[in-house]
Amino acid sequence: MAIKLNDKFLNGFVSDHEIHAMDDAVIGAHSKIWNKTGLGNDYLGWVDLPVNYDKEEFLRIKEAAEKIRTSCDILIVIGIGGSYLGARAAIEFCKSPYYNNLKKDTPDIYFAGCNISAQATKELLEICEGKDVCLNVISKSGTTTEPAIAFRIFREMLIKKYGPDCIKDRVYITTDRQKGTLKSFADEMGCQTFVVPDDCGGRYSVLTAVGLLPIAVAGISIDDMMEGAAAAREAFAPCDLENNDCLKYAAYRNILRNKGKKTEILVDYEPCMTMMNEWWKQLFGESEGKDNKGLFPASVVFTTDLHSLGQYIQEGERLIFETILSIKDTGAVVEVPHDEANVDGLNFLTGKSLEFVNSMAYKGAVIAHTDGGVPAMILELDSRTAYDFGYMVYFFEMACGISGYMLGVNPFNQPGVEAYKKNMFALLGKPGYEEQKAELEARINA
């Protein structure tokens, strides 16, 4: 069992009858997912993905990853949102946040097109000097501005480096199966393509080629990852609130929200979780934040953030609850050394592992925070393997779908993301947006 929910720190915040009262809502949400009867039911491909994926493409992903590993020093993954976060989260979780600096026989992996920063782009162009580079461009729509701009820039870099014929060998494209500008570009240039399935929204796509190609390039076993996801699918399929931790997590989130806890903080104690936190925030933020509803998903990595946000959590406005993701085996053992002079007075820790010290910080913090009025749930994760990653991803995806239906929203659309894009296009002078441009400029200059 890769993930287990421990609810002992909800004592005093949520009572048994409240969880039982969620039974009908959970049964309804569960049925909407598994019988595909809810809003957004065209986007439920992720539910069966771990057992029903394109095996031929899966093999091609492994072959392409091997080719990329042997033909470049750097892979630049170009994408944003759901076309970016999952792969980065997996690489940092399974390998390291320092992945690029580790001794390894796989390429460095950088991410571009996830911002419009001139500085970040210029620095990455400099990093690529004198290195062999491949690109994996990922965009379901093929029209998203940030990755499209980055693709132009890094494509130009490749052509300058290797000449125009290099594109077919150095650019791997993950996009819609049939349509869109990226697909047409790939067909015209002869690039290898991978598919973002029609029935998987961006934030539910990490276990498709979107995530799997960069993850495989990093030398992470995508077989193990799919196996973990498949095990989670089996574990969390039963409609049994008492024994299904995924359903319980969704139910507790909704109970706490109904009690005025409007912000959920995902708490972890390992820096390898930083990007996983970002993936989780997108998953829940885009799935639930609509119709003027939804928990605000926030995250911290302790103990680092105990020295920044710890004060607020302890004594600030009481609108938060914590979901602590605790990794049982982090895969590393480092001990506190002895210091004869004992200048810092820490010799009582001599020989203790950092894991032990970290776990005491965790226990101390959770008790302090619950004493301070912050309910906490603990998700205990076994370790940091590809299997665990797949398991955890599926757990959160399923919990998010269930929780979103319990909230009464469509967890699989993201209409709000368009608002800034329309304004940006208008302000940038995109043809067809003339009226909006004049109106926005008048507001800006008023």
Q: Which residues bind ligand PA5 (CB under 6 A)?
A: 80-83, 139-141, 144, 147, 201-203, 286, 414, 417
How do strand 133-138 and strand 74-78 relate by DSSP bridges?
parallel
Structure tokens at 359: 């776990």
> What is the Cα–Cα distance from 8 to 429, expressed in whole angstroms?
56
Smallest distance from ligand PA5 to CB 79, Å: 6
Q: Is 57 a catalytic residue?
A: no
Smallest distance from ligand PA5 to CB 247, Å: 23
Smallest distance from ligand PA5 to CB 203, Å: 4
* Closer to ligand PA5 by Cβ: residue 85 or 94: 85
Q: Is 421 a catalytic residue?
A: yes
Q: Of these residues, 8, 131, 363, 421, which one is catalytic? A: 421
Q: Of these residues, 56, 160, 307, 340, which one is catalytic? A: 307
* Closer to ligand PA5 by Cβ: residue 50 or 202: 202
Smallest distance from ligand PA5 to CB 370, Å: 33
* Closer to ligand PA5 by Cβ: residue 244 or 414: 414
Q: Of these residues, 286, 322, 355, 397, which one is catalytic? A: 286
* Closer to ligand PA5 by Cβ: residue 183 or 369: 183
Distance, first Cα to last Cα, the chain: 59
Q: Is 4 a catalytic residue?
A: no
| Positions marked catalytic | 286, 307, 421
